Amino acid sequence: MKALEKNPERRYPSAVALAADLRRFLRYEPIQARAQSAWTRLARRALKHKGRVAAIGTILVLILTLGFVFFEAQYQARLRREAAYEPAVLEAAMKMQVAGLSMMVASGYLSRIERHVMLLRGGFRVLSRELGRGPVERAVAALGEAEAIFPRRADAYYHRARGLLLLEKEAEAGEELERALACNPRLVPALLLRSELKERHGDLEGARLDQDWARAAGEAGWGEAWPSARREIEAGRWKEAAEAYGKLIKIERAGSEMVLGSLVEALLGRGIARLEGEDFSEAIEDFLEAKIRMPDSIQPALLLGKAYYLMGRKGRAEEVFQELHQRSELKDDLALEVAGVYFIHHDWARMREWVEKMKEVSAVRERNRAWFLPRGAVEALEAAQRAVRLDPGDPMAHCILGLVYSRQGNRAEVENMAQKALALGRENAYVRHMVSLVLLSDAGEKIEGFHAAIRLDPDLPWPHEFLGELLHSRGEREAGYAAVRRAIELDPKSYAPYTTVF
């Protein structure tokens, strides 16, 4: 091939050189000609078939381009899923943390606020048993949606299991824990929660094995501090609870989070323990840090505002609430939450302002406006009548309309509304309480109504209070004192001024 090279520099310089090379070849001596390299042969073949090579090259470039576009799209989709997944899980976990603690501590500051929010919202049957359940149920539903976004991540399964346990759905909680551990067998919080569930069902050996796995998989101190914090919160030992949450925070800060949101949860837990223990300054510090770590979450900012209000810094609390309302998408829900804060402190003007911030013209909005508008206001009657028209099946709407008629001295309509409210809400303890308190005039009927409310919901403090006052006024002093003492036991913070008397 050297003799046939097109490039003169690569050919033999003369026929004599070619002949000499041939003679060397015949004598089995080394020759000047060399075989073409693989790259040279490939290049020549490509030049020979330029059309085919161009087509193949174009196809290869197209395949590579499509592959890059596909994998980039997959990567971006994953980022979008993460962007949707993590905030959804975090917000649901924060909501569940706060509501779960309200369920555990029925006589705390936050539980009192939640109880009043439920009164504004309505729709419950036995208030003390449903305290905190609504937010937990909404959080569980949101976590179910998050699971569908990212089914291979364990966080949503774990948090949803916690919520289901709060709702006393142990079988479903167990299934969620199995899914969480299938995604991450070394997830310490899930192992500990499954251990607790097994212990409840008498599987002590299985519970011990899960605890051993948890110790082997992660920080032993976390596994001790987490259940300790919950026990102290349930027992109302606020200082000890704050210390246990402090240990969790220290462990979380030293390494990575045990599960998505666990550091902020610990901060909220310690803040709530400090708030309930009336260490408001320290609680505010925890809520501020949680708010900085989760600037888009509602719960840390809402707790921060509540802490400022309970501390006595009402102007600062209102600023926090206003700022949160401006950026919140759930403005109507937030308005009721804030109205509940003002409700328990009888700040009727502020409470009414927040109720009126609700954009949706609903029975909830209108009956609460009617409830707290000044006596004799024409608007009160219009709002109460509108509430009944919007939801004829709402017993509280009929109660409030009856209350407005009572303020006007229209006894016939008061009795009519009392009958309708009882027909719709005879099994609702708070409706029975409200009808007895504001719509009935006969003392005997009032006493009977308060007793009925107590039978339906023995842990609701208000029927005990007003029953006690009524019995005392009728000369039944011992029975009256006993009823008021029971109200104080159920809600010691609300009745603190009376504790020395009773």
In a domain, 281, yes or no: no
In a domain, 234, yes or no: no
> Using 50, 70 and 90 to split pLDDT, how confident is the model at 420?
very high
Residue 73: its pLDDT value, please? Answer: 66
Instruction: Look at 114-128, 135-149, 421-435 and tell me which has the smallest mean pLDDT.
Output: 114-128
> Using 50, 70 and 90 to split pLDDT, how confident is the model at 37?
low
Average pLDDT over residues 23-44: 56
In a domain, 64, yes or no: yes
Residue 1: its pLDDT value, please? Answer: 52
pLDDT at position 273 over 50 = yes
Residue 502: its pLDDT value, please? Answer: 43
Residue 75: its pLDDT value, please? Answer: 59
Query: What's the 3-state SS for 244-293?
Result: HHHHHHHHHHHCCCCCCCHHHHHHHHHHHHHHHCCCHHHHHHHHHHHHHH
In 330-442, which ranges are continuous DSSP H helix?
A: 331-344, 348-355, 363-372, 378-390, 395-408, 411-425, 429-434
Structural domain count of the chain: 1
Residue 213: its pLDDT value, please? Answer: 86
Q: Which contacts of 473-477 are long-range, i.e. CB under 8 A and separated by 24 or more positions?
A: 474/443
Instruction: Look at 118-127, 289-298, 311-320 and tell me which has the smallest mean pLDDT.
Output: 118-127
Average pLDDT over residues 352-381: 88
CA 212 remoteness from chain centre:
30
> Using 50, 70 and 90 to split pLDDT, how confident is the model at 388?
very high
Q: Average pLDDT over the chain, rounded to whole?
A: 83
Provide the residue range defining the domain that includes 40.
2-79
DSSP annotation of 178 reads H
Average pLDDT over residues 286-302: 91
Q: CA–CA separation, 467 vs 157, rounded Å?
A: 46
pLDDT at position 497 over 50 = no
> Using 50, 70 and 90 to split pLDDT, how confident is the model at 118?
confident
Average pLDDT over residues 215-225: 74
In a domain, 121, yes or no: no
User: What percent of the chain lies above the pLDDT cut of 70?
Assistant: 80
- Per the CB < 8 A criterion, the answer to whether 245 and 264 are in contact is no
In this prediction the pTM is 0.76
In a domain, 23, yes or no: yes
DSSP string across 414-481: HHHHHHHHHHHHTT-HHHHHHIIIII---HHHHHHHHHHHHHH-TT-HHHHHHHHHHHHHTT-HHHHH
Residue 66: its pLDDT value, please? Answer: 73
- Per the CB < 8 A criterion, the answer to whether 479 and 498 are in contact is no
- 412 vs 72, which has greater pLDDT? 412
- Write out pLDDT tens, residues 135-185: 888 899 999 999 988 888 999 999 999 999 888 899 999 999 999 999 999
- Write out pLDDT tens, residues 451-469: 999 999 998 899 999 999 9
Residue 135: its pLDDT value, please? Answer: 83
- Per the CB < 8 A criterion, the answer to whether 234 and 104 are in contact is yes
- Per the CB < 8 A criterion, the answer to whether 221 and 253 are in contact is no
pLDDT at position 408 over 50 = yes
What length is written for the chain?
502
pLDDT at position 41 over 70 = no
CB atoms < 10 A from the CB of 46, how many?
Answer: 14
> Among all chains, which residue has been given the structure tokens 């029925």?
106
